[in-house]
Amino acid sequence: AGAGAGAGAGAGAGGGAPRMAEYPAADRVLAIGDVHGDAAQLRAALKMARVVDDKDNWVGGSAVLVQVGDILDRGDTELSALDLLFKLQDQAPAAGGRVHVLFGNHEMMNVDLDFRYVTSGGFSEFTRAFSSRNTSFTDADSKANASLPSFMHSRAAMMRPGGSVAKSLAERSQVAVRVGDAVFVHGGLAPAHFGKGERGPGEVVAELNA
C-alpha cells in the first residue's frame, strides 16, 4: 500500500476544513458500490469508466466519482484501495472533477474494532503498513490492544479513533453527498429521515454529515 491511507492527509477533501455536502449537477456522474478490499477490481472498474489510466492517474476530466462506502473488509487489499481513491481525490479537482468517498457500515465496524469480516490477508496488509509507517505502539494503542490477539494489533492501532487510517477516513469521507438532484448514501435513506415532508434532501444530507 502507498502512503495515503496511513498518512492521514486530507488535502483532497479539504483536510480539516468543513466539507461541502451539496454540489451542482455534473455532465458525468459515476457511482461505485462496495469495494470490500479488492483493489484490482476497483482499478478495473475505474479503467472501464475511463477515469484512470494505466498508472492510476485521474483522466476523468470534469467527471464526478462517488464511491458509496464499504471499502474495508472481506478482501486482502483494503489499504491499496483506500490509497487509490485518496490519490484520485487529490488529483481530480485540477481537471475540474471530484471524487467523493462515503463512509459505510464496514468502516464504522473497523473504527469500533469489530474485525469479524477481516481476512487473514487484510490483517497482514495492515501489519506490513504499520511497520513501515509507525515506529511503535502508543500507550493508547496498548490499551486498545489489551483484549485483542497480537495479529490484530497493527490494524487496531491504525483503525481506532485517532489512528492513521481512521483519521484519513474522518478527514476525507462523508456519510452522504448530493450531486445535483441525486443523493448518495451507503445503505439508503428511510422515510423517517424526511419527517412528514417538511425536510428536503439538502437538510437531510447536512444532518447526516454533522
Show Cβ contacts of residue 58 under 8 Å, excluding neighbours closer than 6 positions.
51, 52, 88, 91, 92, 95, 97, 99
CB contact at 8 A, 81 and 39: yes
Spatial distance between the Cα atoms of 36 and 31, rounded to a whole number of angstroms: 15
Residue 155 grid coordinates: 490494524
Residue 106 annotated as catalytic: yes
Q: Of 36, 100, 106, 186, which residue is the catalytic one?
A: 106
Cell 487509490 identifies what position? 84
CB contact at 8 A, 35 and 46: no
What is the distance of C-alpha 188 from the center of its chain? 17
DSSP class per residue in 119-162: -HHHHHHHHHHHHHH-SS--HHHHHHHTTS-GGGHHHHHHHSTT
Residue 182 grid coordinates: 441525486
* Catalytic residue positions, numbered: 106
